[in-house]
C-alpha cells in the first residue's frame, strides 16, 4: 500500500469506527467506542436510588462508603451493585456481603438495603429526607444477619 494511502485509510477507519456506535439503531454505548451518552437525556427531577445505609444505636441513618456498598471506591459501581442485587432478589445475601466488607464499625449496629426516592433538586434546597423509602433487607453490622 502506498505511503499516502495508508494514512487516509487509517483516518477513514478511525472515524467510521468511532461513529459506528452512534449510527447503530438503537445507538449502543460501549468501550472504547462510545456514543458518549453522558448527561444527554433529561431524567427529570426524581431520583430513585438503591443503596445501603447504616443505623446507629439511636436509629439514626449513617451513610456508608462506596467501598462498603460496592467493593470499590467508585460510587457508580456501588449504586449499580446495590441495584443489581435488589433487582435479582438477593437483597439478604447482599446485605451480609456489605456487613462483611464494613466489618466492625464504631457507630453502625445495623444495615438496611433500601430504595430511596428523592426529588433531586429539593434534596439540596429543602431537605435531605427521602419522599419514599422501601427497605429490602436488614442485617446486623459486623458480618451476620
Partner 1 sequence: MTAAPTPVAAAAPAAAVRRRTPGYLDPAPPERLATLRILVVGFALGYLVVRTPHLLDVARLADVAPGRFAPVGPLVLLDAPPAPVMVAAVLAVTIAAAAAGLVGWRWRVSGPVTALGFLLLTSHRSSWGQIFHTENLVALHLLVLAASAAADARSLDARRRARTGGAPPVADPRYGWPVRLAAVVVVVAYVLAGWAKLRTGGIDWVTGDALRNHVAHDNLRKALVGDVWSPLGGWAVAHGWVFPPLAAASLAVELAAPVALLGGRWRTGWVLAAWSFHLGVLGLMAILFPYPLLGVAFAPFFALERLGWPPWRRVAGARVAAPR
Contacts with partner 1, residue ranges (CB under 8 A): 3-4, 7-8, 10-11, 14-15, 18-19, 22, 27, 29-45, 47, 49, 51, 63-82, 84, 88, 97, 116, 118, 120-121, 123-125, 128
For the bound state, the minimum distance from the C-beta of residue 58 to partner 1, rounded and expressed in Å, comes to 19
For the bound state, the minimum distance from the C-beta of residue 76 to partner 1, rounded and expressed in Å, comes to 4
Partners of 10 in beta bridges: none
Residue with smaller CB distance to partner 1, 22 or 109: 22
Residue with smaller CB distance to partner 1, 11 or 145: 11
DSSP state, residue 115:
E
Residue with smaller CB distance to partner 1, 26 or 59: 26
Query: Can you tell me the distance from the alpha carbon of 47 to that of 107, in angstroms, rounded to the nearest whole number?
Result: 28
Range list of β-strands (E), 64-131: 110-119
For the bound state, the minimum distance from the C-beta of residue 55 to partner 1, rounded and expressed in Å, comes to 14
For the bound state, the minimum distance from the C-beta of residue 49 to partner 1, rounded and expressed in Å, comes to 5
Residue with smaller CB distance to partner 1, 32 or 59: 32
For the bound state, the minimum distance from the C-beta of residue 135 to partner 1, rounded and expressed in Å, comes to 15
CA 94 vs. chain centroid, Å, equals: 15
Sheet with 110-119: list strands edge to edge. 61-63, 46-55, 110-119, 132-140
Question: Angle between the 75-87 and 91-102 helix axes, to the nearest 10 degrees?
Answer: 150
DSSP state, residue 51:
E
Query: Can you tell me the distance from the alpha carbon of 145 to that of 128, in angstroms, rounded to the nearest whole number?
Result: 28
Residue with smaller CB distance to partner 1, 34 or 142: 34
Amino acid at each position: 500500500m502506498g505511503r499516502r494511502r495508508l494514512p487516509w485509510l487509517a483516518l477513514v477507519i478511525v472515524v467510521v469506527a468511532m461513529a459506528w456506535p452512534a449510527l447503530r439503531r438503537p445507538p449502543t454505548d460501549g468501550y472504547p467506542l462510545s456514543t458518549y451518552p453522558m448527561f444527554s437525556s433529561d431524567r427529570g427531577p426524581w431520583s430513585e436510588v438503591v443503596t445501603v445505609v447504616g443505623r446507629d444505636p439511636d436509629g439514626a441513618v449513617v451513610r456508608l462508603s462506596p467501598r462498603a456498598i460496592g467493593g470499590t471506591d467508585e460510587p457508580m459501581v456501588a449504586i449499580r451493585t446495590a441495584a443489581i442485587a435488589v433487582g435479582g432478589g438477593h437483597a439478604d445475601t447482599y446485605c451480609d456481603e456489605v456487613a462483611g466488607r464494613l466489618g466492625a464499625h464504631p457507630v453502625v449496629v445495623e444495615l438496611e438495603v433500601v430504595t430511596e426516592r428523592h426529588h433531586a433538586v429539593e434534596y439540596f434546597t429543602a431537605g435531605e429526607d427521602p419522599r419514599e423509602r422501601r427497605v429490602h433487607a436488614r442485617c446486623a453490622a459486623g458480618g451476620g444477619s
